[in-house]
Amino acid sequence: MTYHVLVADDEPNICELMDLYLGVAYDDIKTHTVANGKIAVEMYAQLACEDMGPDLVLMDIRMPVMDGIEATRRIIESDPDAKIYMVTAYYEPDLIEEAMNAGAKGVINKIREFKKIAKTVRGLLES
C-alpha cells in the first residue's frame, strides 16, 4: 500500500524537506507538494479522482493566494473525512482555533526536527 500525503507550504525548502523526510525515508509514502491553498484544493480533488487519497494533508496556515484555513474549509466541504493537519511555525491561538473550526484535525509545529515530524506523520497514517 502507498500512502499519499499532500503538503501545502509556500516555502520551497519546507516542501523539499517534507518530501525528503517523508517520501525518501519511507518508501511507502508518496508526497505531493504545492505552494498555496488554492493549488492544494485543486490537487486534493485531482488526487481523489485518481484514487490516490490523499491519506493526509499537511497544510501551512499562512500562504499567498489562499491561506491554509480557507483551503481546509473548502477541502472539508468536498470531503468531510479529509485528514488535514495544520503545520505552522507560529502558535497563534486565534488562528489555531479558526483552523480547527474549519475542519483541521490537529496542529504540527514545523519548528520541530523534520525527523520527528516524519515520525508523527507516519503514526497518523497508521492510526
CATH number at residue 78: 3.40.50.2300
Residue 2 lies in a domain: no
Determine the average pLDDT of the residues in 15-23: 90
pLDDT band at 106 (very low <50, low <70, confident <90, very high): very high
Q: Give residue-wise pLDDT tens across range 45-66.
A: 999 999 888 999 999 999 999 9
Q: Is the pLDDT of residue 83 over 80?
A: yes
Q: Note whether residue 18 is domain-resident.
A: yes
pLDDT on residue 109: 86
pLDDT on residue 74: 98
How many structural domains comprise the chain?
A: 1
User: Domain span at residue 15?
Assistant: 9-55+65-89+97-121
Of all residues in the chain, the percent with pLDDT exceeding 70 is 100
C-alpha span between 47 and 96 (Å, rounded): 26
DSSP secondary structure, 59-107, as one string: EESS-SSS-HHHHHHHHHHH-TT--EEEEES---HHHHHHHHHHT--EE
Residues 6+ apart with CB under 8 A from 50: none
Does residue 4 form part of some domain? Answer: no
Question: Mean pLDDT over residues 68-97, rounded?
Answer: 93
| Whole-model pTM over 0.85 | yes
